[in-house]
Amino acid sequence: MSTDRRSFFTRLASAGAGLLAGVKTVASQTSTQVAPAEGEHAMHHDHAAGVGRDPFETPDLPKLPWTMVDGVKEFHLIAEVVRTEFMPGRIVDAWGYNGSVPGPTIEVDEGDTVRIVFENRLPEITTVHWHGLEVPIEMDGVPGLTMDPVQPGGTFVYEFTLHQHGTFFYHSHMPMQEMLGMLGFFIIHPKERYQPAVDRDFGFLLQGWALLPNNTVPNTLSMEFNWLTLNGKAGPATTPVIVKQGERVRLRFVNLGMDHHPMHMHGHQFYVTGTEGGRVPEAARHPGNTVIVGVAQARDVEFEAQYLGDWMLHCHLPHHMMNQMVSMVGPMSHMGSGLHTGAGMEEGMGMIRQGHGLSEELGPALGRGLGEAATRERNVTHMVGQAANQESGHQHHAQGDEGAQQVPGFPQDMWMVMDEMFVKPETYGLRKDWTAAMMGMMTLVRVVTPELYDEIAELKKQQPAEQKPGGQQPIHQHQHKQG
Ligand SMILES: [Cu+2]
């Protein structure tokens, strides 16, 4: 073991010690042991034969286990309140399934008959809709229209046979519940493996949230979103995906929220090979490096990982490349001298105490101004300014502070290094200060050498089970002020 790796492992171990005082998931802890799917990894190298499955993974999310009962794959899906965290310290009381927000991944095969024994542990009615699946109308999961709602404490058994294959998802059909996180992947592998087969296959659920500072409950009515997540994590808490140079890789995106997300990958070109309706015919594929994933859509892209490097994969909407959406945070984080971003964060998120949101006073500016044009106050500073630096440890990215002072509203971007908070095998070998680049709907595709791949694999083996991504992660009580 290299010295470098040994010291990394020491940091890994001590990171684990800090987790113990964590908050527990509110809900029941369901086992995340996935029943052995046929040859998940054994078939991995069987490209030519067209048999087996592409090895699908959802970073930071578990898979829903199943058992075979009389030839039917039986799943137990439980809707419940889940306390989660988007990154260490940003605790969120959301709604999800089986202790996970978003819900665990259901992974099945074309031709399967599946039975989903569904239980509602929420305080209100719900149902499950199977998005994109061609199922009998009574299985479609729209409360009132196609079935009676499942009452709190109630159950419903969904059962259907799958004749499709591709990237699908399940979600509550009640909009406010969707905004609280209630969705999950429903991946159907084809009978005949897609050609060319991929070596790696990763899924990402894209979500936007409105969370006031010091509040843990998402505001489902807001039209302004300040937290953007991939599989329930915001950068740099998203776990990077690791691929070997030369491997063929598929990325699958599903978006359920109020915005579209142009997902962009650095350093490579990819082809869109699938949508929420299934596989795209080869003749219809075109190259790109950004794919717009609209609301309710799924997009699969594939590429050859040709170039070594830690390549960013992120939504390119600038406001989705931030945590806490800094320009909106408003007077609360301005140490008293203030850039009013049109209005305060409460107003921007719909908590209006007088008048209404479209009034002359509030409407044009509500949460959207940056100070110079739309604000009520001229005295402009920003949350990462001088005062904030001293108080909270945020770093200023200006080299010459004096010059910076002469520019109204400067600086606007944040520069926060927090490498030590994200020590895990998947971040081994990243450049120092990497965390400063990662915020919001961002993760990394790390194209590595076989040697580095093996080193990371070895670190994963040594990693305590409760720290592994995709399991039920304990919630860290790591206080970190963001603003
Ligand atoms: Cu976005």
3-class SS string, 190-206:
CCCCCCCCCCEEEEEEE
Does the pLDDT at position 404 exceed 80? no
Confidence of residue 343 (pLDDT cuts 50, 70, 90): low
Alpha carbon of 317 to ligand 1 centroid (Å) = 5
Alpha carbon of 255 to ligand 1 centroid (Å) = 9
Alpha carbon of 64 to ligand 1 centroid (Å) = 27
Alpha carbon of 140 to ligand 1 centroid (Å) = 28
Alpha carbon of 37 to ligand 1 centroid (Å) = 33
Alpha carbon of 323 to ligand 1 centroid (Å) = 12
Alpha carbon of 322 to ligand 1 centroid (Å) = 10
Alpha carbon of 262 to ligand 1 centroid (Å) = 6
Beta strands, E only, 232-345: 241-244, 248-255, 261-265, 270-275, 278-279, 287-288, 290-293, 298-304, 309-315
Q: What's the token pair of residue 287?
A: 């190259």
- What is the rounded distance in angstroms from the CA atom of residue 190 to the CA atom of residue 167? 11
Alpha carbon of 295 to ligand 1 centroid (Å) = 10
Alpha carbon of 207 to ligand 1 centroid (Å) = 8
Alpha carbon of 229 to ligand 1 centroid (Å) = 9
Q: List Cα–Cα distances, 112 to 14, 107, 164, 192, 439, in angstroms.
A: 44, 11, 10, 14, 39
Confidence of residue 164 (pLDDT cuts 50, 70, 90): very high
Q: What dihedral do alpha carbons 296, 155, 65, 250 form, nearest 10°?
A: -10
Does the pLDDT at position 384 exceed 60? no
- What is the rounded distance in angstroms from the CA atom of residue 256 to the CA atom of residue 402? 45
Read off the amino acid at residue 465: A
Does the pLDDT at position 101 exceed 60? yes
Alpha carbon of 293 to ligand 1 centroid (Å) = 9
Residues 6 or more apart whose Cβ sits within 8 Å of residue 301: 250, 251, 253, 265, 270, 271, 272, 273, 288, 291
Alpha carbon of 261 to ligand 1 centroid (Å) = 4
> What confidence score (pLDDT) does residue 281 get?
95
Alpha carbon of 103 to ligand 1 centroid (Å) = 20
Alpha carbon of 257 to ligand 1 centroid (Å) = 10
The residues pairing with 104 across neighbouring beta strands, listed in sequence order, are none
Residues 6 or more apart whose Cβ sits within 8 Å of residue 32: 62, 63, 65, 104, 470, 471, 472
Alpha carbon of 409 to ligand 1 centroid (Å) = 24
- What is the rounded distance in angstroms from the CA atom of residue 223 to the CA atom of residue 363? 13
> What confidence score (pLDDT) does residue 401 get?
55
Q: What's the token pair of residue 55?
A: 């090895």
- What is the rounded distance in angstroms from the CA atom of residue 51 to the CA atom of residue 40? 11
Q: Is 466 helix (H, G, I), strand (E, B) or coil?
A: helix
Alpha carbon of 204 to ligand 1 centroid (Å) = 13
Tens of pLDDT, residue by residue over 431-457, are 999 999 999 999 999 999 999 999 999
- What is the rounded distance in angstroms from the CA atom of residue 350 to the CA atom of residue 367? 10
Alpha carbon of 376 to ligand 1 centroid (Å) = 29
Confidence of residue 270 (pLDDT cuts 50, 70, 90): very high
Confidence of residue 3 (pLDDT cuts 50, 70, 90): low
Q: Which long-range contacts (CB under 8 A, 24 or more apart) does 385-392 make?
A: 385/411, 387/335, 387/337, 388/333, 388/335, 391/335, 392/481, 392/483
Read off the amino acid at residue 481: K
Confidence of residue 482 (pLDDT cuts 50, 70, 90): very low
> What confidence score (pLDDT) does residue 34 get?
47
Alpha carbon of 276 to ligand 1 centroid (Å) = 18
136: nearest Cα among 169, 159, 170, 119 = 159
Alpha carbon of 225 to ligand 1 centroid (Å) = 10
In the chain, where the domains are located: 27-319, 327-413
Alpha carbon of 381 to ligand 1 centroid (Å) = 26
Residues 6 or more apart whose Cβ sits within 8 Å of residue 264: 289, 290, 312, 313, 314, 315, 316
44: nearest Cα among 225, 223, 193 = 193
Alpha carbon of 303 to ligand 1 centroid (Å) = 21
> What confidence score (pLDDT) does residue 348 get?
59
Alpha carbon of 208 to ligand 1 centroid (Å) = 8
Alpha carbon of 441 to ligand 1 centroid (Å) = 7
Alpha carbon of 265 to ligand 1 centroid (Å) = 13
Does the pLDDT at position 409 exceed 90? no
Tens of pLDDT, residue by residue over 115-154, are 999 999 999 999 999 999 999 999 999 999 999 999 999 9
Alpha carbon of 139 to ligand 1 centroid (Å) = 32
> What confidence score (pLDDT) does residue 30 get?
38
CATH code of the domain occupying 27-319: 2.60.40.420
Looking at residues 309-313, what average pLDDT do you find? 98
Query: Is residue 315 a contact partner of residue 321, using CB atoms and an 8 Å limit?
Result: yes
Query: Is residue 132 a contact partner of residue 298, using CB atoms and an 8 Å limit?
Result: yes
Q: What angle do CA 188, 189, 195 make, to 5 degrees?
A: 140
Alpha carbon of 259 to ligand 1 centroid (Å) = 7
Query: Is residue 140 a contact partner of residue 129, using CB atoms and an 8 Å limit?
Result: yes
Does the pLDDT at position 102 exceed 60? yes
Mean predicted lDDT score pLDDT of the chain: 80
